[in-house]
Amino acid sequence: VVAGAGVALIPSFLIRPELESGSLVIPFDRPLSSEQAYYLVYPTGLGGHPGLARFRAWMLASAGAE
């Protein structure tokens, strides 16, 4: 939690800037793994939106780096 104390279970690629700046830290030496998947869901009409395409590409590249 940025403004206080707390714990979050979140993939590190989603908070990489915060980890690099030191505003968030990873408190454990061992990463947590999950067999669950993430899905990007959006309305059919937005399939060709350039912003969505960039976001999807970023998510895939970031997740692949993990």
Instruction: Give the mean model confidence (pLDDT) for residues 2-11.
Output: 74
Residue 23 CA to residue 38 CA, distance in Å, equals 25
Contact yes or no for 27/47 (Cβ under 8 A): no
Residue 26 CA to residue 8 CA, distance in Å, equals 10
pLDDT digits (tens, 9 = 90+) for 28-54: 787 777 777 778 888 888 888 899 989
What ranges do the domains of the chain cover? 12-65
Q: What is the pTM of this model?
A: 0.49
How many residues would you count in the chain?
Answer: 66
